[in-house]
Amino acid sequence: MRKKSLVLINGRWIPEGHACVPISDSAYLYGHGVFETMKVVKGHALFIPEHFERLRGNAYKLNLKLPLNLSLFEQSIRRLIQKNKCDEAVLRFTLSQTPEGKPFWVMATKVFVPYPRSCYTRGGRLILIRSVRADSLEKAGVKTTSYLTKILGRQEAQQRGAVEGIFLNEEGNVTEGGSSNLFIVKKGILLTPPLSEGLLPGTRRKAVITLARKLKIPFKEKILRPKDLLRADEIFITSSLKDILPIASLDDKKIGDGGVGEVTKRLVASYEAGYKFLA
């Protein structure tokens, strides 16, 4: 039986079963809100400063008032983890506003269900999303609560038995996954689409780019087409909950030798070494 949890709403502790959002809330009515999802590992929320910086920037873009600074944000996260006795969990912060323009924020946790270990040791299945296109460039790159496009893409990926689906933009270029960024390796060079193609600046995307430079792995941002993915030697995706997840196939076509590539292995090893409690 799932234990009862507390939710933090505008600084007030409320039992999860009694927590509610007003029917006039901007995120509920119009999708006018922003959010961040964080992974909790062994009682620690990962990449808090990076998530806060993205949250602050996105709130500014949507004219939402963020009533917390980094210190209060971190303190609230730690207290929520302690009160809910979280070891492994997903923590989400959502910011919206009332009709009067006052900020309304919610911080909550839920049980983290890890991806099968085989996805990390043998690689997962990836598909190209056919049902919908990526969000327009105007709102892409902002993690808003208007998530219909991503939900439809995730549903297609699940129906086709894939760990993730990759969106194409109106030009047919590769952008991102339903909840991840994408990297490929070709002839030893690490490649990923530029943010200008309409994708979210993921915290793990930034971490991988930093690690690649540290490890002296050649890297560049490059516009990618579906054919580039099929010709890649390696593919992996990154996200707050997936970390670095290798890909073995795309649309049931084998990538490289169908296993986890050497560049991917180096990046995973370095990533886990930096966060030893992940391993």
**pLDDT tens digits, 214-252:** 999 999 999 999 999 999 999 999 999 999 999 999 999
**What is d(CA 237, CA 246) in angstroms, rounded to the nearest whole number?**
7
pLDDT confidence of residue 275: 73
Distances (CA, A) of 164 to 79, 142, 193, 218, 239: 32, 20, 17, 26, 11
pLDDT confidence of residue 276: 55
- Is there a contact between 246 and 240 (Cβ–Cβ < 8 Å)? no
What percent of the chain lies above the pLDDT cut of 90? 91
Segment 35-47 mean pLDDT: 96
**What's the chain's average pLDDT?**
94
**What is d(CA 176, CA 16) in angstroms, rounded to the nearest whole number?**
33
Segment 11-16 mean pLDDT: 97
Q: What is the 3-state secondary structure (H, E, C) of the chain?
A: CCCCCEEEECCEEEEHHHCCCCCCCHHHHHCCCEEEEEEEECCEECCHHHHHHHHHHHHHHCCCCCCCCHHHHHHHHHHHHHHCCCCCEEEEEEEEECCCCCEEEEEEEEECCCCCHHHHHCCEEEEECCCCCCCCCCCCCCCECCCHHHHHHHHHHHHCCCCEEEEECCCCCEEEECCCEEEEEECCEEEECCHHHCCCCCHHHHHHHHHHHHCCCCEEECCCCHHHHHCCCEEEEEECCCEEEEEEEECCEECCCCCCCHHHHHHHHHHHHHCHHHC
- Is there a contact between 9 and 106 (Cβ–Cβ < 8 Å)? yes
pLDDT confidence of residue 138: 58
**pLDDT tens digits, 137-177:** 556 789 999 989 999 999 999 999 999 999 999 999 999 99
**pLDDT tens digits, 182-210:** 999 999 999 999 999 999 999 999 999 99
**Does 30 score more than 60 pLDDT?**
yes
**pLDDT tens digits, 90-144:** 999 999 999 999 999 999 999 999 999 999 999 999 999 988 888 775 567 899 9
pLDDT confidence of residue 120: 96
pLDDT confidence of residue 137: 56
- Is there a contact between 26 and 32 (Cβ–Cβ < 8 Å)? yes
pLDDT confidence of residue 279: 44
**pTM higher than 0.85:** yes
**Does 277 score more than 60 pLDDT?**
no
**pLDDT tens digits, 249-270:** 999 999 999 999 999 999 999 9
What structural domains does the chain harbor?
A: 6-111 (3.30.470.10), 117-278 (3.20.10.10)
